[in-house]
Structures are given as structure tokens and as C-alpha cells.
Structure 1
Amino acid sequence: MARLLYSATMSLDGFIAGPGGDMSWLTPHVGAPNPTADRLLTRIGCLLVGNRTFGGDDPNAGTDAEGAFGGRYSGPVVVLTHRPSATPGVVFTDDLRTAIRLSREAAGERYVNVLGADVARQCLEIGELDEILVFLAPVLLGGGTPLFRGSHQVDLVPVPGESALWFRVATPEPA
């Protein structure tokens, strides 16, 4: 069954989007050689995307690099939203568990790549987020959308043989 992986590029001060959702800070960092991102891209079977991320600012809008992974991803997309739009090839749902089920079905044995901090938080809260991969960009934004806003501590375990910032969500020991 597909695993849910939250991947994001984060500033060194912990933000994945600048104030107001601004993503222009990311433009100089898109397209830089990244073997981990290249390897991940070949293992993604579906994107599970939040509405703000889906309709948000793309630092490469209007170029060949527009879209997920610098425009290199092409495949199934499920958007979690209460405001669906008519976008060909995209599935919209307002129910998290339905979004996860549809994404897993579309991904098969490959990853469901979660895009959007709020969707990732929701998946984590219901015990459905399996892994987290963080790419660091050499910039300090000073504010914006943090990588996570959570209500409790979550322990992570490094994924062997992967980037130092690729983790599995630890399964808590029974009490």
C-alpha cells in the first residue's frame, strides 16, 4: 500500500511559504541539482494537495517549470478542499479520509506525496502520515507558513540511506 510522505522545501528559519503565501523566494532554488528530489520524483504515484497549495503562488508560473517538482511531475492529483474547481485530471474532495483513500488507490505501491502544511498536519493527527522529507533552501524568510503547526510532540526516525532530513514518523509505544 502507498505510504504518505510530506515533502517540502523550507527556509532555514522554518517556513515553507513567505508572508501571504508568497513563494517567489523559492524561484532561485528551483532547478538546482538535487539527487534526492530526482529519486523521489520517480517514486511518486499521486499528489495529495491542500487547496491553498493547489491554487497558490507558483514561483515558476508561466514557464516550463510551472507545477510540482519544477513542472516535472505528471500524474494523479487529489485536492482536499471545500471549494472544488473544474480542473481536468484533478480529483477534488472535502473529506480527508476519502482524499487519502483515493490518493493511495491512484498511487498503488508508490508514494502519495502530500503538499501543503495543513493537509500534512491533518494526516499526522489521524495517524496517516508515514514520512517527512525536508529540503532546505539557504534563505531566511522571517515569517510565513511554518513547516508544521502541531499540538503535540511527534518523534521521528531517520530513514536509513536517505537524506539527513528524511524521516519516518515513529509509532508510539503502547502505554
Structure 2
Amino acid sequence: MAKLLYSVTMSLDGFIAGPGGDMSWLTPYLGPNPLIDELVARVGAILVGGRTFRGDDPHKGTAAEGEVFGGGWEGPQFVLTRTPPAEPVPGLTFVSDLGEAVAAARAAAGAGYVNVLGAETARGCLEAGELDEVLVCIAPVLLGDGVRLFDHPGGTHVRLERIELGAAPSATNVWFRVAGRDG
């Protein structure tokens, strides 16, 4: 069965997007990363939140704009949103229920990963007990404000076990398995 993986690039101070969802900060850190190159080949489906789907793109103004992994991946994509577009979008399936979205993405991914994109969607998957792993590429930058990697009002305690630690020219990669939640 496919595993759900939340993969993301984060600033050293814990932000995955700048204020207002700005992703332009990420562009200088999209350089070569062998771990990501290996991961792309193992991704069977994408599960993306509606806000991330409609949000800013670090590839804006390039041929890779709007493409998952900058155009390095193709396959089934599921968008979790309460407001799907009126007209179908080729290559995308819009789903309004988290459980249905996860089940459809897992089925489409086969033995590969379901790569989760979007902080709220990842949090929902975690809270539903569906998130298996987290891969964070830590960029050497401080943003000071924006969208956090993981935000849970009132706090929570999620135990993670490190699977892999490595470095690329533009980031430090830390891959974890979700070990459980306390409380």
C-alpha cells in the first residue's frame, strides 16, 4: 500500500511560505538535490491542498510554472478543496473529503508514495492518522513570518523517528517516519 509523505522545503526558522503565501523566497534553493531526484521516481500520486494548488509558484514566469517538482514528475493528482472549479481541469481530480482524497490517491499511487503538498492538508492527514513520513529540506534562510511547516493551535506532540539525514548544495534533508502522537 502507498505511504503518505509530506515533503517540503522549509526555512531554518520553520516557514514553508512567506507572508501571504509568497513562494518567491524558494527559487534560489531549488538547485540540485539528489534525494529529491530519487524521490520523484518513487512518487505514484500527488495529494495537494486547495490553497497550495491555487497559491504562489516558485517557478512563476518559467516553463516549469504550475508543474509538480518543476516539471520533473507526471501522474495522477488529487486536489483537496471545498471549492472545485466549475470546469474540469485535465489531469486533476478534485475531492472535497479528506478520507476520499487519501483513499483515491493511495489507490492511484500503487506501491509508490502519495506526496502530500500543503501544510493544512498534511496536518489533516496527520490528525486522521494517515501521514506516514515527513521529508523536510531545510534551506539556509530565515523568513521571520509566513506559513509554518506544522501549525496546531493549542499545541500537540507528534513523535518522529529519523530515517535519513543528508545534505545537498542548497539544503539539508531530514526524512522522518511518523512514530505516533501523544495526547
Instruction: Give the TM-score of the pair, scaled to structure 1.
Output: 0.93
**Where in structure 1 are there 5+ consecutive unaligned residues?**
none
Matched, 1:152 2:156: yes
Question: 1: CA distance between counterparts of 2:106 and 2:2?
Answer: 5
Question: 1: CA distance between counterparts of 2:62 and 2:113?
Answer: 26
Return the structure number with greater strand share: 2
Aligned residues of 2:158 and 2:180 also touching (Cα < 8 A): no
Amino acid at match of 1:120: A
> 1:68 Cα shift?
1.9
Identity %: 59
Aligned length: 172
> 1:172 Cα shift?
5.8
Alignment deviations for residues 21-43 of structure 1 (CA, whole Å, 9 cap, x no partner): 0000011112x110110010000
Q: Report the CA distance shift for 1:172/1:11 in structure 2 as closer, same or farther (over 3 A).
A: closer
Alignment deviations for residues 59-110 of structure 1 (CA, whole Å, 9 cap, x no partner): 1123122222122121110000001123111000110000000000110000
Matches within 5 A, 1:25-40: 25-30=25-30, 32-40=31-39
Classify the secondary structure of the residue corresponding to 2:104: helix
Amino acid at match of 2:84: P
Matches within 5 A, 1:2-41: 2-30=2-30, 32-41=31-40
Question: 1: CA distance between counterparts of 2:180 and 2:150?
Answer: 18
Classify the secondary structure of the residue corresponding to 1:13: coil
| Residue of structure 2 in register with 1:79 after alignment | 79
Amino acid at match of 1:35: P
**Where in structure 2 are there 5+ consecutive unaligned residues?**
167-172
